[in-house]
Structure 1
Amino acid sequence: MTVIAFLGAGSVVFTRELLADILSFDELRGVTLALQDIDPSRLETAELIARRTAEQLGAKPVITASLDRRRALDGADFVINAIQVGMYEATVRDFEIPARYGLRQTIADTLGIGGIFRALRTFPVLDGIAADMLEICPDAWLLNYTNPMAMNIGYLAATAPSLKAAGLCHSVFWTVHDLCELLGVPLDEVDYTGAGVNHQAWLLRFEHRGESLYPKIDELLERDPSMRRRVRMDMYQRLGYFPTETSEHSSEYVPWYLHHDEEIARLRIPVGDYLRISKANVDEYHAVRDALERGEPLDVSRDATEYAPQVIHSMVTGTMRRIHANVANRGLITNLPEGYAVEVPCVVDRLGVRPEHVGALPLQCAALNRSFVSVGQLTVQAAINGDPRMVRQAAMADPNTAATLTVDQIWQLCDELTAAHGDLIPEALR
C-alpha cells in the first residue's frame, strides 16, 4: 500500500486541495495518509478534512494523525512538505520591520529580506526532515512545497545530496493557463517549455500548433494598452521572454520597480500584498474548521492541477507525465551555477522525477537569474557555515534591497530581524 506523509498538514486549505486531487485517482483511493503537524488544533482539523474528503469521494484511505514526525514518516513512499516555520506572526515581522526602513516588499517568501529570513528559519527543520527520512524511509521522495523553494532545494542539495527531493510549484502551469485564456487559445493545444529558477523562470517555448504565441501577446498589448500596466508584461516587453510568476512576485526580484513611487503606480504593484493573503489564509482556516464542526460538506471538486498528486500517481502507476519541477542543477542549465536549484521540465513515471537538459538560457534571462541565485547561494552558505556576516552579504546582494537601502541600513535591518525572530534563527547566526 502506498504511504503518503503530509508534513505541515495543518495548512488545511492546501491539504484539502491535495487530498481531493489524490483521492480522485482510482489507483490512490486506498492509500495511507499519514498527517503530521506541530499544532494539535490544526492537526485535528486536518484529520477531520481528510476523513470528510474521503467520505464525500467514496474513498477508503487509511488515515493517521500524529504530532511526531518520525512516526508519520515510518513506511512513507512520498513525503509532502508544506511547513511554514514561524507561521503568520513571523511573516508579519518580515514585512513590518523592513517597512520601517523604507524597504517595500510584496510577497517576501522567495528572495529579498523576507526570503532570506524565511529560509534561515526553515533550514534547521529541513535538516531534521532530511535526517529522519534518510534513516526511516530512505527510498521515499520528498515533494517540497515550502518556500523559499529555490533556497530550500539548494540547501538540501548541499546538505543531503542523497535525498530524493523535488520542489513543486504551479507557477509555470498557471502562467501558460492564464496566457491561453487571454489569447483565446486552447490550453491542450499549446506546447511550452519553462526554465530558470523558481518564481523567475522564462517561457522559452510557447507555441500553438507549432507557431509561436509571442506575436499574439504583442498584438494584445498593442490592442489593449492597459495590459502593459503589469510588471510581467513590462518585463516581457523589455526582455523578450515571459516570466513565469505573478507581477507581485516578479516586482521584488529586480531593482527597477519597488523603489519608485511612479513605477508602483504605473504598474499597479500591491505593496505588502502577502500580509493580506496570509490573513485571508488564517481566516479561511477558521471558516473551514467551523464548517466541519457544523457538519457541512467540503468543496472537493478538483481538476487535478496540483503537481504532487500527479507525481505520486505517475510513480505508482507508470503513467508518464511532463511537469516543471525544481531540482539541483547538474548540468541542466549551463549558464547558471552548478548545484543550486533550477526549475526545468521533468518527465515523471515509475523511475521518478527525471529532469530534462535545457542548455544555456538567453543571456538577459540568465543575467537576472544569476543575481537571484547569488542571494540564495549566500543564504545557504551562511547557514552551512554558521556565518552571520554572510547573511548580511546575501541581503547586500539582493537587487531590491540594494536599490533601496544603504549598506549600514541593510546591516541594521538584519540585526533587528535576527533579534525579532529570536530562537527561530539558528544560534550560530544570532
Structure 2
Amino acid sequence: MAQTLFDTVSRKLTWTAIACSLLAGPVLSQNFPVTEQQRATAKQVAQNGVPLSELGPDAPQSYTVKPGDTLWDISGMFLKNPWHWPELWGMNLSDIKNPHLIYPGQMLDLDTSNGRARLSLRTGGADADLPTVRVSPRTRIENLKASALPTLKSHLIEPFLAEPMIVDELGLSAAARIVATQDGRVLLSRGDRAYARGNAGYELQDEPAKKQQMFRVFRNATPLKDPVSGEVLGYEAQYIGKALLARSESSQESVAADGKNRTDIVPATIDIVDAKEEMRVGDRLLPEPPPQLQSYVPRAPTSPIEARIVSIYGSAVVNAAQNQVVSLNRGSRDGIESGHVLAIMTDGARLVDKTDAKLTPLKLPDERNGLLMVFRTFEKVSYALVLDITQGVKVGDRLINPR
C-alpha cells in the first residue's frame, strides 16, 4: 500500500477505486438505510429475476447513468412502480452491492431472456472512457457520497429540511421573541442588531459548550388542523431567517430617581445573519437544531396507512402541483417514516343516476391521482413531496398505500 502511494503509477482506475485505495481505513461515513426486508427482497429477485410484466412499457435495453439522474428516475425507467427500488437493486445485486452507490458513467444492461428480467453493469462499459490518472506522492480523497446518485433531486426538498417548523402549544409559548431593535428600526434585515427575551425558564443564555448559538426566526405560527377530526396537530411556523446570540439575557441593579434600588432586565443581544424576509418586533426564535443528513429510501409502508393532506406549504394556491410540498395528518406516532411513498386519491364525485326513474344517488369510485414521498416527520405531522400528479392536489385529499 505504501509503495503504491509513493511510486508514480499510471493506469486506468475508477474514481471510486482511487478514493478507497488512498484512505487509511474503510469509508465509515456512508450510512445508507437499507432495511432487512428490502435486502431480503433484493436477494430473492437477484435469484429469480423480475417478471416481464413488472417492467415499464418503455424500459430500455441499456442505459448509461448521467449526472442529474436520480434513483427514482432510473427505477421509473425500468419498472412500472418506481417505489419498488429493491427489485431494481436485486436485478443487479451481484454488481452493485449498495443501491445508493450508483454513479454517472455506469452502463446498465437489461436481460429479458427466459421470461425474467435482470439488470447488470456492462463489463468495461463505464471504465472504458475513464481518463488515465497519475497518482503523485500525496493523499487524495474523493467524496463518494457527493458523486453517487441521490434518491430525489435534492434542491426540491433541501429548503424544507430547514424552513418549516412544527411546534406544539408549549413550544410556541416558550419560544423567545424579539422585543426591541437598535435605533428604533421598524424592520430588520441581515447585518442588523436586535434585542430578544425568553419566557420564564427559557431565558436566552450562552451555552458554554457552544462557540456560537444560532436561532431560527419565525412568525405566523398557523395551526394545522386534521381535516377529518379537527384536532390541532401542531403549529406551522413561517421561517424568515437566522440570528446569532451575541450577548446573553441578564439583569442590572441600579438606583431609581426616588432613591430606591431596582432591578432592570437587560434583554439578550442578537445579530441577524440571514433574512429570507424582513423581521420585526414580536417575531419568535427557536434554537437551530443540529443538521440532519438523510438518505431517502422510497418504499411503500409495511402496514396500512390512511392519511389526509392538511395544507400546501408556502403557497396561497388551492391545488398543489408536481414538486410542491404538502403536509399530512400523520406523523411518527402513526408509523410514518421518511421515504414512505403514498398514493394520492381523488374522491369520486357524488351524482344522481338520471337513467333511473328513482334518481338514485351514486358515489363514483375514488381514482389514483399521483404519488408523493414523505421526507420529514414530526410527531403528528409529516411533510411530503408530490412526485407525479394527474391533476391538482388539494387539502383533504386521501392518501393510501400504493398498489
Tell which structure's C-alpha radius of gyration is larger.
2
Q: TM-score range by the shorter chain?
A: under 0.3
- Report which structure shows greater RCO (CA 8 Å, sep ≥6): 1
* Structure showing the higher strand proportion among its residues: 2
